[in-house]
Amino acid sequence: MSVAVEFRNVTKEYGPVRVLHGVGFALQPGRVYGLLGENGAGKSTLMKILAGYESPTTGEILIDGAVRAPAGGSRAAEAQGIVLIHQEFNLAEDLTIAQNIFLGHEIRKGLFLDDRAMREQTRAALAKVGLPLDPDTRVRKLIVAEKQLVEIARALARHARLLIMDEPTATLTPGETERLFALMAGLKAAGVTIIYISHKLDEVERTTDEVIVMRDGQLVAREATASVTRRQMANLMVGRELADLFPEKLPAPDGAPAMRVRGLTVPGWAEDIDFEVRRGEILGFAGLVGAGRTELFEGLLGLRPRTAGELELAGQPVQVRSPRDAARHGLTYLSEDRKGKGLHVHFGLRPNLTLMALERYASPWLRPADEEAALRDAVQEFGIRTGSLEVRASSLSGGNQQKLALAKVLHPGPSVVVLDEPTRGVDVGAKREIYHLVQRLAAQGLAVIVISSELMELIGLCHRVAVMRAGRLQTTLQAPHLTEEELIVHATGTR
C-alpha cells in the first residue's frame, strides 16, 4: 500500500524564468506532510511534477527507490498510485460528475462502457465526501464548494497510495472540512502518504506529522509539526519575523451612506434585505456557506435575477443591470469564484487588469503605454509575483491570481467595493498586506464590504458585521458584541 518518494535536485524553468532551484527531499510512507510556502514559492509546481502533469527541467524523482521514467504523464503517475487534487480545479465543466470521476479510467463491460457501475461507484465516492448529488449532474451546474468535493471524490476513486491535496479546504464549510479530516485520518491509517498544502496554519497544525517549508523555489525548513508553533511556521515561510496581522482599527465613520440597499430580494437566495455602508467604513458579511451572501451581491450587480429592491449610491437612486453598469456608478465586486467569474485566465495580465475600466483607456483610443504603466503599478502595489508581465493569468500561482483579481476591481477607482473572500488561497504575509490595503482604502474614504468565512478576519478588520442565515439578514454586530461566539450564534441560529 505505502509508497516512498524522493526528489533529487529537481529544477523547473518556464522559458527564462526559473521556478524551482534544485529541490531535494524524501518522504516516508504513511505519513502526513504539510507543504508550506508563500504564494509563488513553487508548491503547486513541485506537486504537478510529482503527479506527472509537468516534467522537471532537470533532476529526478524516485518512487519506491526506482527513478521514474520522464514523460509518463499523469496517467503513469496515477498507475503508481500518485494522485493530485488540483488547487485550480481540473474538471471538465460540460461532462457529468460520473464522467469526470472516470475520465480516462472508464469501466468497461466487454466492448461497452459500464455506465451503471460507474454511476454506482460515483454515488459511493460522493457519499464519502458528503455530497448527495445525482452522478449525472453536469459539473457546470455546481457551486465552487461542490466542485471541490467532486475533485476530492475523484481522487478517492483512484485508490491513491500518495494523495496530494492542494488547498482542498479553501472553499469548504467547517462541517465539510471536518469530514475531510476524518477521511484523511482513515487514509493515513490505511498506509496512504498525504501531502497537504494549505495557508490555513491551524489546519496544518492539526492534520500533519511534519511540515516542509519552501521559499523562492527551494526547501528552507523541515520540522516535526509538534515542535513548531503557527507563528514559527509563518516566519519560516516569509523568512522574517511577521508583525501583527491586523492594522489598528480606525474610528467608525458617521457621515452619509455611500451605498444604501432597500428590500433587495434575489429569489431562492436572499429576501427583503436592507443595509447601508458609509464612506470610510468596513462592513463585514458573515454567514455559513449557502446563507446567500454571495448571491445577494450577485443579485445587486445584475449577475442574478432580482425581483425587488432599490439601490442608492452617494444618495442617488441607480439602476444596475451588469457589473459594467455598477462600475460606471462607482461600485465594483470581487467574485469569490476567481476562475469562473473573476479572471479570464487564458488572457494576459494586462486585459485582466483593465477590462472593467475599458472606457478610461478606450477614449479617445486605447493607449497601450497607459495600460502598461497601470499593470506595472498594480504588480508593485499588490506584490504580484510573476517572472514576466507577458504571461497569461493562468500561469500565476493561485494566491497571485487572487491579488490580480483584487487589483482588477480596484483599478476603476470605485467608491464602494465588495470583496468576496478576498484572502482565499493567499499566504499569511500577503493576507496581512491585504488587510492593511483594505484599511488604507477605507481611510481614503472608500466604503468597503468584506464577505468572509473566516470569522477572525471579520472581527479583526470590520467596524460592523452583518450576519446572514438562510437568505435573511439576522442582525448587525459591532463592538463589543462583535465576537466569535455571537457571530456563530446568529449564523447558525443556535445557542
Ligand X SMILES: Nc1ncnc2c1ncn2[C@@H]1O[C@H](COP(=O)(O)OP(=O)(O)OP(=O)(O)O)[C@@H](O)[C@H]1O
Q: CB of residue 392 vs Mg ion: minimum separation in angstroms? A: 16
> Which parts of 51-70 interact with Mg ion (CB under 5 A)?
none
Q: CB of residue 408 vs ligand X: minimum separation in angstroms? A: 17
Q: CB of residue 72 vs ligand X: minimum separation in angstroms? A: 20
Q: CB of residue 296 vs Mg ion: minimum separation in angstroms? A: 30
Identify which range of 83-91, 129-137, 148-156, 231-239 contacts Mg ion by CB under 5 A: 83-91
The item of ligand X, Mg ion, none sharing an interface with residue 39, based on CB under 5 to 8 Å by kind, is: ligand X
Write out the residues near ligand X by the rule CB under 6 A.
14, 17, 19, 37, 39-45, 87, 385-387, 391, 395-400, 427
The item of ligand X, Mg ion, none sharing an interface with residue 17, based on CB under 5 to 8 Å by kind, is: ligand X
The item of ligand X, Mg ion, none sharing an interface with residue 208, based on CB under 5 to 8 Å by kind, is: none
Which CB atom, from 34 or from 398, has the smaller least distance to Mg ion?
398
Q: CB of residue 382 vs Mg ion: minimum separation in angstroms? A: 17
Q: CB of residue 38 vs ligand X: minimum separation in angstroms? A: 7
Is there binding between residue 198 and Mg ion (CB under 5 A)?
no
Interface pattern 385-424 for Mg ion (x via CB under 5 A): ------------xx--------------------------
Which CB atom, from 99 or from 198, has the smaller least distance to ligand X?
198
The item of Mg ion, ligand X, none sharing an interface with residue 188, based on CB under 5 to 8 Å by kind, is: none
The item of Mg ion, ligand X, none sharing an interface with residue 386, based on CB under 5 to 8 Å by kind, is: ligand X
Which CB atom, from 96 or from 401, has the smaller least distance to ligand X?
401
Q: CB of residue 20 vs ligand X: minimum separation in angstroms? A: 8
Which CB atom, from 87 or from 96, has the smaller least distance to Mg ion?
87
The item of ligand X, Mg ion, none sharing an interface with residue 37, based on CB under 5 to 8 Å by kind, is: ligand X
Which CB atom, from 403 or from 464, has the smaller least distance to ligand X?
403
The item of Mg ion, ligand X, none sharing an interface with residue 422, based on CB under 5 to 8 Å by kind, is: none
Residue 159: all three cell numbers together = 485508490
Asked if 439 and 460 touch (Cβ cutoff 8 Å), the reply is: no
Is there binding between residue 235 and Mg ion (CB under 5 A)?
no
The item of ligand X, Mg ion, none sharing an interface with residue 96, based on CB under 5 to 8 Å by kind, is: none
Our CA angle for 380, 386, 391, nearest 5°, is 115
Is there binding between residue 44 and Mg ion (CB under 5 A)?
yes
- Report how far residue 301's alpha carbon sits from residue 92's, in angstroms, rounded to the nearest whole number: 28
Which CB atom, from 77 or from 393, has the smaller least distance to ligand X?
393
- Report how far residue 310's alpha carbon sits from residue 12's, in angstroms, rounded to the nearest whole number: 53
Asked if 106 and 116 touch (Cβ cutoff 8 Å), the reply is: no
Which CB atom, from 66 or from 71, has the smaller least distance to ligand X?
71
Q: CB of residue 39 vs Mg ion: minimum separation in angstroms? A: 7
Q: CB of residue 261 vs Mg ion: minimum separation in angstroms? A: 36
Q: Which residues contact 332 (CB under 8 A, 6 or more apart)?
A: 323, 326, 356, 409, 410, 412, 414, 416, 417, 418
- Report how far residue 24's alpha carbon sits from residue 93's, in angstroms, rounded to the nearest whole number: 36
Q: CB of residue 62 vs ligand X: minimum separation in angstroms? A: 21
Interface pattern 352-391 for Mg ion (x via CB under 5 A): ----------------------------------------
The item of Mg ion, ligand X, none sharing an interface with residue 224, based on CB under 5 to 8 Å by kind, is: none
Which CB atom, from 398 or from 422, has the smaller least distance to ligand X?
398
Q: CB of residue 23 vs Mg ion: minimum separation in angstroms? A: 15
Q: Which residues contact 167 (CB under 8 A, 6 or more apart)?
A: 87, 197, 198, 199, 398, 425
Q: CB of residue 204 vs ligand X: minimum separation in angstroms? A: 13
Which CB atom, from 330 or from 429, has the smaller least distance to ligand X?
429
The item of Mg ion, ligand X, none sharing an interface with residue 45, based on CB under 5 to 8 Å by kind, is: ligand X
- Report how far residue 451's alpha carbon sits from residue 465's, in angstroms, rounded to the nearest whole number: 9
The binding site for Mg ion (CB under 5 A) comprises: 44, 87, 397-398
